[in-house]
């Protein structure tokens, strides 16, 4: 795929053009200092110097709460789907988060397409900004999702000393580059070399957290992890659901109907497989009644070979948000460590 | 999409969160990394806070009782109905016939104006907290001096009667992280909960011997190991005389070796944080145990000690500070002349300044009740009897988010704005005053609680001057010394401001009198071989309308009611087998005081010989022994010997 160079003094011009073409979602610093991926209205709002955003991109494709259809039950039952269709460019988002979207695609764009997710997904473009420095909770090197990627993005931008290196990863990314050729020049070999240097340096900045994904994957796949490990992990988990909500790849949801007049709306909400009632059946039977069973199911889904084969990869991108958000100590890094120790 | 920084409305931790707003609707919740308590974490309730604002079950219009029915009415009609009803009772029986209950769910501004309304507009001193029956402000305020961040450099955490992982998960998160960096944990509780299983040492508390058990440890620390330093502990030592661990095992249920093991860990530490649950205060001996903790702070030698009391509801501490507390004015005990002077100036004249009745007597005696944001009948041990009494109240006004069971009995129901729809402040369990921000408009005609109170004050002919929540807070900062110098503007930053306490009692004196009175643990009997304990930390949220109406989180809490429709009786599996019981099946539970049916749950957390039931489940039945606390007259459950009949 092609690579281009965007001089530093033209970055705002290009961002301005993107803003005129679509809704642009970019890292934005809120008043507390936290950073969110959020709609921006001017190039100056983009927090280029951020490390990580509080939340992944999931909310924009699979909202925490969304109306999926409206119905009326008058003389004739009428059902209308509610699809959100608009062009969105996700700018300067992290590679772990772009990889997370690719995992969600396997869930919602696979054998049975989810129309609500796909309506948003088809019109989304992902421009990632490679990380030059890891945040404290990061372990994307273990998750095979960063800090630099070889593919999976529409464009990957790397901040070089004099401007952005723009690598194209898809037809959508190429079309975007083609539309703004007047601002770009083909990348020079020394610019690509500079990127490789930055990538190497970035990998040296990771902190204490890691994830023993290979060990966990083999043992989960072969069910070699003794029950005591899950029971012990259950004592380190308060079932807040934070890891699942913050995870770029978790996709559990539940559906409720909200009645209004002689009709109503059907809503979809994020749910968590760790919650006691997630798998509970109407009879009251709960196939995963024990907390330890729910933890096992979650990590099996994340890391087993069976799921990795189906999705094309395992489902941890190493963003470390479960480390930040865990109310106790049962995040991915702690769990794979517990599994490895057996 | 906009992210509005605000504070979680549920437990007393005061976590920072963001509400995501799109198209004037709250559509999501996100954690706040920049927040000093929650640091990017939320619990099950917090993660679903947006569902509260967006619930289709919210009250949107005032309701007025016409005959047997509550019917929608305009605000004008509802307000004049409230004035007519309250004035009728005042004219017939005087203002003291009106009782007012405030709420730990509401902001400081809401509670402050409610106190002003009660004392200066209605003229009644009968104002208390809906949670008064199991949260004793005096005792807790006297002993709790720590900040949550104290846990971050503690090397020993001593957890008494608390499971913060369940109750105050944000505090639990600090403890889990302390364990990761190598801090030691000692737990003392009836249930061997998750954190107790991770503890270096667990002290199984015998129900009814909570204070004696702490006394035993204090004896070891003060008398045997001489950790009092230069402090004068003559009276304390005398109070502990019967609690020498080696001789007191029968009394406390604690083996001397366990007490000595805990003391070893204590002595090896440089900084100890004692963490206790305010739910301990729901029993006589638990309340004494809370007071006894004051003695830990008096230890002059050995490790530095801090004591942290956990409060289970969002603004419980703030509501106390505002005077939603028997015998307390905003910022000072009743009878404090300086405070009376301040309040007279702020409120424009005389007001009812007496101590007033506690909540349980208000419910028993008052002819008219004004209840904001709570269902106090459920927080008392004899719920069924209380409910019958509430049906007799001549005039009942309830101001809430949902049509609660109490609101169903009301003459007037006023729809309130939720935390997501109003500006205001809340004060967390450690005294952190934080700003809650309106993210969206309240549904329908619902209004902020403080605005409803202001409107009523005006209708009573005594208008209050504040026009906004910030104005109300400005008045609070004048009236309540601990809040002096603060303003909505100064509280903008994540984490707000930390304050101290007004008028806390002497911790050591309280500890000595509590320890002197400490009793032996309750005993099961041959006919009733199990000891039944009501646990306010189990299943309390299932009963809260602010949680039960949430589509996702509510499902998790209300399932207890589905699985255990008559009440949950938690037993050790061995006791279950012994009695030929099966999980989920109903059994007859009988005591010398009555009998009732409950469904059984097995849990190894509960020791053999003990049965545990959620406080609210016990309150539905007449099985347990309800006693009146000697000092206060407060009705509380006593651990009760019971038998369980054959499973049906």
**What does the block give as tokens for B355?**
């101590």
What pairs with residue B3 in β-bridges? B20
- Is residue A255 classed as helix, strand or coil in its secondary structure? strand
Q: Which CATH superfamily is domain B137-310 in?
A: Dimethylsulfoxide Reductase, domain 2 (3.40.228.10)
Average confidence (pLDDT) over B620-642: 93
- The answer, yes or no, to whether residue B523 has pLDDT greater than 90, is no
Judge: B32–A32 Cβ closer than 8 Å, yes or no: yes
Chain position carrying tokens 């020049």: A185
Q: How far apart are the CA of B537 and the nearest CA of chain A, in angstroms?
A: 15
pLDDT at B237 over 50: yes
Give the pLDDT mean for B282-299: 94
- For A279, nearest residue in chain B (alpha carbons): B556
Cα B453 to Cα B126: distance, rounded to the nearest angstrom: 17
Mean pLDDT of A182-208: 97
Which residues, numbered 68 to 97 in chain B, qualify as contacts with chain A under a Cβ-Cβ cut-off of 8 Å? Answer: none
DSSP-derived pairing of the beta strands A88-93 and A124-129: parallel
Tell me which residue has tokens 């559509």.
Answer: B27
Interface touch A329/B177, C-beta < 8 Å: yes
Give residue-wise pLDDT tens across range A32-41.
Answer: 999 999 999 9
**Extents of the domains making up chain A:** 3-203, 213-341
A150 in the Ramachandran plot: left (φ > 0), alpha (ψ -120 to 50) or beta? Answer: alpha
Q: Where are the domains of chain B?
A: 2-53, 63-131+315-487, 137-310, 522-644
Chain A residues near residue B559 by CB distance under 8 angstroms: 276-277, 280
Q: Is the pLDDT reported for residue B139 higher than 80? A: yes
**Per residue in B379-425, pLDDT tens?**
888 877 778 888 889 999 999 999 998 999 999 999 999 999 999 99
Say if residue B239's pLDDT is above 60: yes
Q: What are the tens digits of pLDDT across the range A56-85?
A: 999 999 999 999 999 998 889 999 999 998
**Averaged pLDDT for residues B260-282:** 96
Instruction: State the DSSP H helix or E strand holding residue B235, giving kind and residue range, or none if neither.
Output: helix B234-239
H-helix segments, B304-428:
316-321, 337-347, 359-365, 383-392, 405-408
- Using the Cβ of B15 and the Cβ atoms of chain A, whether some distance falls under 8 Å is answered with no
For the ranges A84-93, B17-26, B132-141, B552-561, the lowest mean pLDDT is seen at B132-141
CB A270 to CB B552 under 8 A? yes
Q: B522-644, which class in CATH?
A: mainly beta
| Phi/psi of residue A258, nearest 5 degrees | -125, 115
Residues in chain A closer than 8 A to B180 (CB atoms): 329
pLDDT at A117 over 90: yes
Residue of B29, B38, B44 best to disrupt the A interface, most CBs of A under 10 A = B44
Q: Does B554 touch chain A (CB under 8 A)?
A: no
| d(C-alpha B334, C-alpha B327), whole Å | 5
Helix and strand totals (H; E) in chain A? 14, 12
Q: Above pLDDT 70, what percent of chain A?
A: 100
CA distance A324 to chain B (A): 6
Which residue has 């952190």 as its token pair? B432
Q: Specify the fold of B2-53.
A: N-terminal domain of TfIIb (2.20.25)
Q: Which residues of B touch A59 (CB under 8 A)?
A: 1, 20, 28
Percent share of chain B, pLDDT over 90:
87
In angstroms, the separation between the Cα of residue A240 and the nearest Cα of chain B is 4
The residue among A220, A214, A233 whose CA lies nearest residue A307 is A220
Using CA coordinates, name the residue in chain B closest to A326. B41
- Cβ <8 Å between B556 and A276: yes
B558 and B542 Cβ atoms separated by less than 8 Å: yes
Closest residue in chain A to residue B584, using alpha carbons only: A284
Q: Check: CATH 3.30.420.40 for B63-131+315-487?
A: no
- In a mutational test of the A interface, the residue from B47, B55, B58, B420 whose CB has the highest number of chain A CBs within 10 Å is B47
| B271 interfaces chain A, CB cutoff of 8 Å | no
Note the pLDDT tens digit of each residue in B157-205.
999 998 998 899 999 999 999 999 999 999 999 999 999 999 999 999 9
Q: In whole angstroms, what is the distance from residue B155 CA to residue B228 CA?
A: 20
In a mutational test of the A interface, the residue from B28, B48, B171, B491 whose CB has the highest number of chain A CBs within 10 Å is B28
Indicate whether B648 pLDDT > 50.
Answer: no
- Angle (CA) B200-B201-B204 rounded to 5° is 150
A209 touches chain B (CB under 8 A): no
Any residues with CB less than 8 A from the CB of A99 and at least 6 apart, and which? A143, A144, A145, A146, A149, A152, A248, A317
DSSP result, B113-156? HHHHIIIIII----EEETTGGG--HHHHHHH----GGGGGG-SE
User: A324 contacts in B (CB within 8 Å)?
Assistant: 33, 39-41
| 3-state per-residue secondary structure call for B444-503 | CCCECHHHHHHHHHHHCCCCCCCCCHHHHHHHHHHHCHHHCCCCCHHHCCCCCEECCCCC
Going by the DSSP 8-state scheme, the letter that residue B206 receives in this structure is: P
- pLDDT tens, residue by residue, B295-326: 998 899 999 999 999 999 999 999 999 999 99
A39 interface with B at CB cutoff 8 Å: yes
H/E stretch holding B20: strand B16-22
In chain A, which residue's Cα lies nearest the Cα of B27?
A65
| Interhelix angle A115-122/A95-108, nearest 10 degrees | 140
Q: What is the pLDDT of residues B491-521, one digit of tens each?
A: 999 999 999 988 778 899 999 999 999 998 8
DSSP letters, B404-446, are: -HHHHT-SEEEEB--GGG--EEEE-TT-EEEEE---SPPSTT-
Which chain A residue is nearest to residue B175, measuring alpha carbons?
Answer: A328
User: Are the Cβ atoms of A284 and B54 closer than 8 angstroms?
Assistant: no
- The yes-or-no verdict on residue A277 having pLDDT over 70 is yes
pLDDT tens, residue by residue, A199-226: 999 999 999 999 999 999 999 999 999 9
**Residues contacting residue B118 through CB under 8 Å, at least 6 positions apart:** B98, B100, B124, B125, B126, B127, B352, B370
Torsion B30-B36-B39-B43 (CA) sign:
negative
A216-222: long-range contacts, CB 8 A cutoff, minimum separation 24:
A216/A299, A216/A303, A216/A335, A216/A336, A216/A339, A216/A340, A217/A303, A217/A304, A217/A305, A217/A308, A217/A314, A218/A305, A219/A339, A219/A340, A219/A342, A220/A299, A220/A300, A220/A303, A220/A304, A220/A305, A220/A339, A221/A304, A221/A305, A221/A306
Decide if A277 touches B, using CB distance below 8 A. Answer: yes
CB pairs under 8 A between A and B: 132
What whole-number distance in Å separates Cα of residue B425 and Cα of residue B490? Answer: 12
Q: Which helix (H) or strand (E) holds B355?
A: none
B441 Cα to chain A: minimum distance (Å)? 18
Q: Do B176 and A242 make contact, defined as CB atoms within 8 angstroms?
A: no
Chain mean pLDDT for chain B? 95
Residue in the block written with tokens 């240097």: A197
Nearest to B31 among A238, A270, A325 (CB): A325
Note whether B163 contacts A: Cβ–Cβ < 8 A.
no
| A:240-259 residues touching chain B, CB 8 A cutoff | 240-242, 245-246, 254, 256, 258-259
B630 touches chain A (CB under 8 A): no
Q: Is the peptide bond between B91 and the residue preceding it cis, with omega within 30 degrees of 0? A: no
Measured between CB atoms, does A135 come within 8 Å of chain B? Answer: no
The closest of B609, B640, B645 to B624, measured between CA atoms, is: B640
Contacts of B39 in chain A (CB under 8 A): 324
pLDDT tops 70 at residue B581: yes
> Which residue in the set B28, B41, B165 is minimally distant from A64, CB to CB?
B28
B chain contacts of residue A246, beta-carbon cutoff 8 Å: 31
Nearest to B551 among A269, A284, A329 (CB): A269
Give the distance from residue B562's alpha carbon to the nearest chain A alpha carbon, in angstroms. 8
A127 CA to chain B: closest CA distance, Å?
20
* B60–A contact, CB cutoff 8 A: no
Q: Which chain A residue has its CA at the smallest distance from B33's CA?
A: A34
Q: B22 falls in which pLDDT band (50, 70, 90)?
A: very high
A239/chain B closest Cα distance in angstroms:
7
B634: which DSSP letter? -
A56 close contact with B: CB closer than 8 A: no
Number of helical (H) and strand (E) elements in chain B, helices listed first: 24, 28
For residue B499, give every residue at least 6 positions away whose Cβ sits within 8 Å of its Cβ, in sequence order, or none: B427, B431, B432, B433, B482, B483, B486
As a whole number of Å, the end-to-end CA separation of chain A is 43
B41: contact with A, CB 8 A cutoff: yes
Chain B residues in contact with A47 by the CB 8 A cut-off are: none
Q: How confident is the model at residue B646 (pLDDT cuts 50, 70, 90)?
A: low
Q: φ, ψ for residue A184 (rounded to 5)?
A: -110, 155
Cβ contact A269–B56 (<8 Å) = no
pLDDT, mean of residues A116-138: 98
């Amino acid at each position: 795929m092609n690579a281009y160079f965007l001089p530093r003094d033209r970055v705002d011009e290009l961002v301005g053009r993107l803003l005129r073409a679509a809704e642009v979602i970019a890292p934005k610093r809120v008043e507390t200092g936290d950073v969110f991926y959020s709609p921006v209205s001017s190039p100056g709002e983009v927090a280029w110097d951020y490390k990580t955003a509080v939340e992944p991109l999931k909310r924009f494709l699979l909202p925490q709460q969304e109306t999926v259809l409206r119905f009326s039950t008058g003389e004739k039952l009428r059902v209308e789907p509610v699809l959100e269709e608009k062009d969105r460019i996700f700018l300067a988002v992290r590679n772990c988060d772009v990889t997370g979207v690719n995992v969600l695609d396997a869930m919602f764009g696979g054998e049975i397409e989810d129309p609500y997710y796909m309506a948003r997904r088809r019109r989304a473009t992902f421009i990632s900004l490679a990380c030059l420095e890891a945040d404290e909770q990061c372990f994307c090197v273990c998750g095979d999702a960063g800090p630099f990627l070889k593919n999976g993005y529409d464009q990957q931008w790397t901040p070089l000393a004099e401007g952005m290196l723009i690598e194209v990863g898809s037809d959508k990314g190429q079309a975007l580059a083609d539309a703004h050729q007047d601002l770009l020049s083909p990348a020079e070999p020394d610019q690509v070399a500079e990127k490789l240097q930055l990538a190497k340096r970035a990998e040296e900045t990771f902190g204490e957290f890691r994830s023993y994904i290979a060990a966990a994957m083999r043992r989960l796949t072969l069910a070699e992890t003794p029950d005591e490990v899950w029971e012990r992990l259950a004592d380190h988990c308060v079932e807040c659901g934070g890891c699942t909500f913050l995870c770029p790849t978790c996709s559990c949801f539940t559906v409720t109907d909200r009645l209004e007049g002689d009709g109503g709306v059907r809503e979809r909400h994020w749910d968590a497989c760790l919650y006691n009632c997630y798998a509970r059946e109407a009879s009251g039977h709960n196939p995963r009644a024990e907390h330890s069973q729910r933890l096992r199911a979650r990590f099996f889904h994340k890391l087993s070979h069976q799921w990795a084969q189906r999705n094309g990869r395992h489902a941890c991108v190493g963003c470390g948000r479960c480390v930040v958000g865990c109310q106790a100590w049962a995040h991915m890094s702690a769990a794979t460590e517990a599994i490895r120790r057996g | 999409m906009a992210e509005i920084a605000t504070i979680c409305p549920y437990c007393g931790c005061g976590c920072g969160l963001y509400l995501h707003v799109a198209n004037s609707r709250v559509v999501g919740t996100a954690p706040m990394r920049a927040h000093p308590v929650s640091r990017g974490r939320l619990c099950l309730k917090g993660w679903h806070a947006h569902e509260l604002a967006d619930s289709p079950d919210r009250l949107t219009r005032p309701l007025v009782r016409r005959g047997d029915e509550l019917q929608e009415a305009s605000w004008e009609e509802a307000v004049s109905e409230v004035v007519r009803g309250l004035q009728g009772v005042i004219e017939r029986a005087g203002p003291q016939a009106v009782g007012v209950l405030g709420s730990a769910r509401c902001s400081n501004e809401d509670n402050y104006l409610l106190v002003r309304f009660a004392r200066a507009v209605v003229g009644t001193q009968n104002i208390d907290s809906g949670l008064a029956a199991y949260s004793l402000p005096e005792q807790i305020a006297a002993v709790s001096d720590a900040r949550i961040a104290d846990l971050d450099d503690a090397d020993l955490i001593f957890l008494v009667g608390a499971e913060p992982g369940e109750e105050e998960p944000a505090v639990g998160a600090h403890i889990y992280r302390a364990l990761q960096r190598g801090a030691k944990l000692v737990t003392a509780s009836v249930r061997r909960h998750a954190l107790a299983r991770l503890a270096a040492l667990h002290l199984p508390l015998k129900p009814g011997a909570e204070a004696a058990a702490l006394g035993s440890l204090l004896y070891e620390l003060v008398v045997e190991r001489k950790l009092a330093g230069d402090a004068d502990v003559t009276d304390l030592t005398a109070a502990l005389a019967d609690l020498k661990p080696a001789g007191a095992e029968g009394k406390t249920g604690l083996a001397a070796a366990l007490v000595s093991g805990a003391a070893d860990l204590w002595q090896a530490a440089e900084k100890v944080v004692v963490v206790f649950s305010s739910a301990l205060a729901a029993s006589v001996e638990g309340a004494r145990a809370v007071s006894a903790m004051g003695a830990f702070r008096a230890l002059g030698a050995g490790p530095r000690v801090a004591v942290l009391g956990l409060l289970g509801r969002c603004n419980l501490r703030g509501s106390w500070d505002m005077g939603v507390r028997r015998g307390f004015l905003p910022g000072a005990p009743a009878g404090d002349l300086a405070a009376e002077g301040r309040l007279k100036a702020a409120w424009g004249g005389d007001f009812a300044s007496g101590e007033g009745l506690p909540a349980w007597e208000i419910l028993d005696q008052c002819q008219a009740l004004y209840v904001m944001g709570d269902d106090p009948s459920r927080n008392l041990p004899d719920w069924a009897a209380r409910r019958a009494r509430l049906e007799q109240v001549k005039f009942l006004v309830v101001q809430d988010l949902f049509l609660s069971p109490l609101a169903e009995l009301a003459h007037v129901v006023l729809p309130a704005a939720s935390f997501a729809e109003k500006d205001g402040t809340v004060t967390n369990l450690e005294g952190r005053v934080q700003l809650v921000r309106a993210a969206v408009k309240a549904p329908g005609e619902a209004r902020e609680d403080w605005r409803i109170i202001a409107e009523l004050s005006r209708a009573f002919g005594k208008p209050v001057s504040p026009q906004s929540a910030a104005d109300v807070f400005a008045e609070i900062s004048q009236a309540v010394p601990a809040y002096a110098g603060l303003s909505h503007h100064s509280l903008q930053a994540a984490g707000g401001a930390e304050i101290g306490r007004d008028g806390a009692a002497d911790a050591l004196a309280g500890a000595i009198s509590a320890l002197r009175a400490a009793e032996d643990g309750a005993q099961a009997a041959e006919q009733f071989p199990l000891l039944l304990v009501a646990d306010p930390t189990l299943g309390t949220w299932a009963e809260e309308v602010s949680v039960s109406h949430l589509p996702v989180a509510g499902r998790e809490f209300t399932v207890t009611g589905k699985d255990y429709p008559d009440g949950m009786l938690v037993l050790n599996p061995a006791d279950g087998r012994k009695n030929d019981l099966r999980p989920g099946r109903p059994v007859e539970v009988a005591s010398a005081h009555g009998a009732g049916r409950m469904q059984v749950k097995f849990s190894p957390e509960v020791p053999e010989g003990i049965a545990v039931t959620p406080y609210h489940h016990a309150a539905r039945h007449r099985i347990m022994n309800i006693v009146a606390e000697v000092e206060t007259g407060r009705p509380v459950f006593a651990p009760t010997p019971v038998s369980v009949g054959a499973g049906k």
